[in-house]
Every structure is written in structure tokens, then in C-alpha cells.
Amino acid sequence: MENQYDIIVIGSGPGGYTAAIRASQLGYKVGIVEKYNTLGGTCTNVGCIPAKALLDSTEHFHKAKTEFELHGIELNNGLNLNFEQFLKRKDGVVKSNVSGLSYLMKKNKIDVRTGLGSFIDSTHLKISNEGKETVLESKYFIIATGSKPSSIPGVAIDKDRIITSTEALSLPAQPKSMVIIGGGVIGVEMASVFARIGTEVTIIEYTDTLIPTMDHELGKALFKTLSKLGIKSLLGSKVQSATNTGNSTTVKFEDHEGKAQEITAEYCLVAVGRRAYTDGLNLQAIGVETEKNGKVRVDDQLRTNVENIYAIGDVIAGAMLAHKAEDEGVFVAEVINGQKPHINYDLIPGVVYTWPEVAAVGSTEEELKAKGIAYNKGSFPYSASGRARAANDTDGFVKVLVSPQYGEVLGVHIIGPRAADVIAQSVVGMEYEVTAEDMYRISYAHPTYSEALKDAYLIAAGQGAINI
């Protein structure tokens, strides 16, 4: 009985731990298998949480350096970054999140089994840990094994000079210079961390905009903000190779005019996307099908082609986001329980934790144009917001895209202070199909960053802005 379960979740990231907790709440005997001796997966250990901890620390440092004097705050003893303490605080934040998860596992009576999970057949999983093997049996399995960084031809990640976000979060000393391949989410977040503490940062991005999957106006605005931090973004540039030259690395690329160029820096951070991680799972043994890109194939109930095996999070199709994985964790536990849960994949918000933050939900202008869908646009700049002026945070804007016929909100795109939190209201509104008129007739506390939304909706409706 000790090794027999109703549901075994493989992987303890945001997908896995939420699936385990929900399944346990629903009365199942649940085990969670994690190959590392720490719970929380990528997000908690080497992703969302440590990255945000370093982003917050460096934003304080940057503000102290560039804005405190304006507020009348004088640092008479000067300003200094203690790099060791900077990393120590981040490690402490990770540790407290990991212990929070251990507590939740205990509280929900979920067995944590440490070791690499590998299928024997569709009801048996072998776990290997330090030479010891145990076989577990379960009626259902949920694969939540996440993702790993990927690379491009000519760039071999050596974790020494040619690194991924994992190494960048724990460098031995403050780097003088860094080249980042990829101007996507990881690229711009890590660029912000290092540029704020004085590292010379160059981003080389293949497309002609930063954060290319988001509305292009956001990428253009972000380009300007990052430039103010001293970050050089080389757009339309194709990296050909990166070489470790001992104490530095040389990156060769073709610039936007097709000219061969090269840059030497202390580190080259590779941030060109992540790939589904199924190594060691022995999926062949049970015949679980994968897509061409290695992602586990699932149906609309997140079930694989093997009846009792489900998959969630980064290892399946869709946005590689912690909250998407979490929603799928709950979804799958409820599906197994015979319920009819629902996830609206069109309304999963995307956030970039630069400063100002970038956040969006729904369709971009580019998507609406490509589909020939008519829209009215309302844009309101934070330079006209009283709250933003009070905080000296006036960069950015709110843009809403609204259907002219019914006032349906089609997309909301924000670059501005606390955009990550401001976007939540739009997600609720869009999920419940409120109209743009509803959005400007409800009350917004004054002064707040969210008031900019009200003005953007008024502008989209052809009325002028009303707040300041």
C-alpha cells in the first residue's frame, strides 16, 4: 500500500504542486515525484521567484542612484552594492517559498518522493535516487516535467561563459559586460537586472522588435526604456556563434544590414526560448506521443494518447507561464474527478517584469489586423496620470482595443508602473464579457495607476480623457 497511489504527479513545479494539492483536496491518495531535493520546479528555484527577487533589488538600487535626490533623499555615505548579500537575499526568498511548498505538501497529506521518475508501464513508475530504485504504482499519472533552456546552432551552452538564466541568477561576481542572445522575456528581464547595477549589456534580437510575441507598440516603448538604462538592443540581428575564450566570450552575428559583426563580453546569456523536458521519463515504454518539437501531445482534457496519463504546464503546448501551468494543474485534477472545469487560453495574461512593467491580455493590434477584425483604439499615457507623477513613474501607456460594433474588449496592452497588477481587472472584465462602456462607467479609486484604463476606454469610445 505504501507505494500505491490514486494519482502520481511527476514534477513539482507550479503545474505539479497545484495538481497534487487539488487532487488531494478532492480525496485522492497523491504522490509527487521530484528529481531534485527541492520542491517548486523552475519557477520557484531558478525562474519567476529568484528573477523577481533580483529585479526588485536592482530596481531599488537604480532608484537610489538616479531618483532619491529628486525626492530629497540624500545618501551621504554613498551607494554601494554588496553582491554577496544581493544574491543571499534572493536565495532566502527561494528558500522560504520552497519551505512553504513543503508545508503545503504535508498539510495536504501528499507524499513527496525524491528521485527521477521513469515509466515501466502505464501503471508503474520507477524512481531512482542515489543508486536506490523504488517502484510506485498508480491509477493515474500527471506528467508535469516542465522545460529546459534551448539554444541555437553555433552556440553551445557551457554554463561557464556561455550561460542560461539559471547561471545568470547566481554568478560568482558582478559582471562587467554581458551579451544576451534573444530579446524575449528572459532577455529583457535579465538585461534590466544587470544594467541597473552597472553591467554593460547588449541584447541581440533576431526579429525587428523586443518581446516580439507581444503587441509591437509595447516592444517599441520597452526599447526606449531599456535604452535609458544604457542597454544596447541590436534588432534584426542573427547570431551565428558564441565562443568561450577563457575569461570572456565572443559572439559573432549578422547585423540588420547583413554585415558580419562581433562583440566580446564577460558572459553570453542564451535566452532564445525553452524546450519541453521529457528526458529520462521513458515515454517510449508506454507509447505516449510527442509533437515534433518534443512537447507531450494532449487532447482538450489534457489527456495523452494513453488513457490514464495526463500532462500539463511547459511540457505541453501553449504559453510557458507559471500561471498557465497552475491553471492546468487544477484543471486536470478536476477532470480526473469527473468535473467539467474550463480554462480560457485566450485570456491568460502575459507579464514582463521590467520597470516599468509590461502586461497584456487578449489580441494584439497585429493579430486583429491580420484577421481583418475592426477595432477602436484608446491610448492613455502615464505622463498624464496624477498617480504616476506623484511616484515619478511617468513612462508608458495603457492601450485598449475595442470592437466598434458591440464594445467588446478585444485586447489590453499596458507598459507602466505596476502593470502586472493593473492587468488583472481587464482579465476579469474580458472573461465576463463586460463592454468598454462598463469599464469606463465603474468607479476607479483616485489616484491609482488603474485609472489610466478608464481614460483609455473613454478615448476608445470617442470621448476625451476625464481624469488626471
Residue 207, contacted partner among ligand FAD, ligand NAD, none, CB below 5-8 A by kind: ligand NAD
- Residue 272 interacting partner from ligand NAD, ligand FAD, none (CB closer than 5 to 8 Å by kind): ligand NAD
In whole angstroms, the minimum distance from the beta carbon of 222 to ligand NAD comes to: 12
| 446 flagged as catalytic | yes
CB 347, min distance to ligand NAD, A: 15
Which residues have C-beta within 8 Å of that of residue 172, sequence separation ≥ 6?
Answer: none
Q: Using CB under 6 A, which residues numbered 81 to 140 contact ligand NAD?
A: none
Q: Beta strands 232-234 and 309-311: pairing type? A: unpaired
321: contact with ligand NAD by CB under 6 A: yes
Distance CA(254)–CA(239), nearest Å, equals 6
Amino acid at 442: I
Question: Which does residue 219 bind out of ligand NAD, ligand FAD, none, counting CB within 5 to 8 angstroms by kind?
Answer: none
Residue 280 has which C-alpha cell?
529520462
Residues 177-196 close enough to bind ligand NAD by CB under 6 A: 181-187, 189
Residue 204 interacts with ligand NAD (CB under 6 A)? yes
Name residue, grid cell 534580437: 205
Q: What are the residues binding ligand FAD (CB under 6 A)? A: 10-16, 33-36, 41-43, 47-48, 51, 116-117, 144-147, 165, 186, 277, 280-281, 313-315, 320-323, 325, 353
**Of 130-138, 194-202, 351-359, 366-374: span binding ligand NAD (CB under 6 A):** 351-359
Rounded CA-CA distance 31/93 in Å is: 26
Place of cell 489590453: 412
Between residues 115 and 396, which has the closer beta carbon with respect to ligand FAD?
Answer: 115
Q: Could you tell which of ligand NAD, ligand FAD, none binds residue 423, using a CB distance below 5 to 8 A set by kind?
A: none
Smallest gap from Cβ 234 to ligand NAD, in A, equals 9
Instruction: Note the residues at the interface with ligand NAD (CB under 6 A).
Output: 152, 181-187, 189, 204-207, 212, 238-239, 271-274, 319-321, 351-353
